[in-house]
Structure 1
Amino acid sequence: MPKTINARAYAKINLFLRVVGTKKDYHEIESLLQSVDLYDEITLSKASDGSITSDFPGDNSLIVLNTLARAFSLGGMHLSVNKNIPLGGGLGGSSADAAAAALACAALWNLPLTKVKKLVSPLFGDIAFQMTGGTAIARGRGENLEVFPSLPLYYVLLAFPEKGVSTKEAYALSDTLPKGNGSGLSLYWALSRGEKADRFYLNDLLSPAMLLNDEISPLLNKMQDERALLTGMSGSGSTLFSLYKTREDAERMASTLACKTFITKSISPFAGK
Structure 2
Amino acid sequence: MNKIKSFAKINLFLKVIGKSKNYHNLYSLISQINLFDEISIQETSAKKSKFLFTGPYKIKSEKNTISDLIYLMKKNFLHLKDKNFIVRVKKNIPNGSGLGGASSNAVTVFKYLKKKYKLKISYKESLKLLAKIGKDCPLFIDNKVKLIKSSGVRYVRFHHRLNLKLLIIFPNQFISTKKVFNKLNKFSKISINKKINLTRKPSLINLCKLYKNDLYVPASRISKKIIDLSKMLDKLDTILYYSMTGSGSAFFVICDTKKSLLNVQKMIKKQKKAFWTTIAKTI
Which bracket does the TM-score occupy, shorter chain normalised? 0.7 to 0.9
Q: Which residue of 1 aligns with 2:230?
A: 220
Q: Any conservation in 2 of the 1:52–1:66 contact (CA below 8 Å)?
A: no
Partner Cα separation in structure 2 for residue 150 and residue 185 of structure 1:
19
Residue 69 of structure 1 is matched in structure 2 by 74
1:92 match: 100
Contact 1:15 1:34 in 2 (8 A): yes
Could you list the per-position Cα deviations for residues 67-125 of structure 1 after superposition, in whole angstroms to 9, with x for gaps in the alignment? 11221121222211110000110100100100101011112212235356244332212
Local SS of the residue matching 2:278: strand
Tell me the distance in 1 between the aligned counterparts of 2:193 and 2:183.
26
- Superposed displacement of residue 182, structure 1: 4.0
Q: RMSD value over aligned CA atoms?
A: 2.2
Q: Which amino acid in the other structure matches residue 281 of structure 2?
A: K
1:251 and 2:259 are equivalent in the alignment: no
The corresponding residue for 2:57 is none
Alpha-carbon distance in 1 for matches of 2:34, 2:45 = 34
TM-score, normalization: structure 2? Answer: 0.84
Q: What is the aligned length?
A: 261
Q: Is the 8 A contact 2:28 2:149 kept in 1?
A: yes
* 1:46–1:81 distance in 2 versus 1, CA, 3 Å: same
- Name which of structure 1's ranges 132-141 and 248-257 shifts more when overlaid on structure 2: 132-141
Q: Which runs of 5+ in 2 are unaligned?
A: 53-60
How is 1:42-81 mapped onto 2 (pairs within 5 angstroms)? 42-55=39-52, 56-73=61-78, 74=80, 75-81=83-89
Task: Judge which range, 244-253 or 113-122, deviates more.
Answer: 113-122
Residue pair 1:50, 1:77 contacting (<8 A) in 2 also: no
- Describe the shift of the 1:22–1:37 C-alpha distance in structure 2 as closer, same or farther (beyond 3 A): same
Residues 56-205 of structure 1 correspond to what in structure 2 (within 5 A)? 56-73=61-78, 74=80, 75-112=83-120, 114=122, 117-123=126-132, 124-174=134-184, 177-182=185-190, 188-189=196-197, 192-195=199-202, 196-197=205-206, 198-205=208-215
Indicate if the aligned counterparts of 1:186 and 1:200 stay in contact, CA closer than 8 A: no
What do the CA deviations read for 1:10-58 (whole angstroms, capped 9, x no partner)?
0001111111222222222222111000000111111223523322522
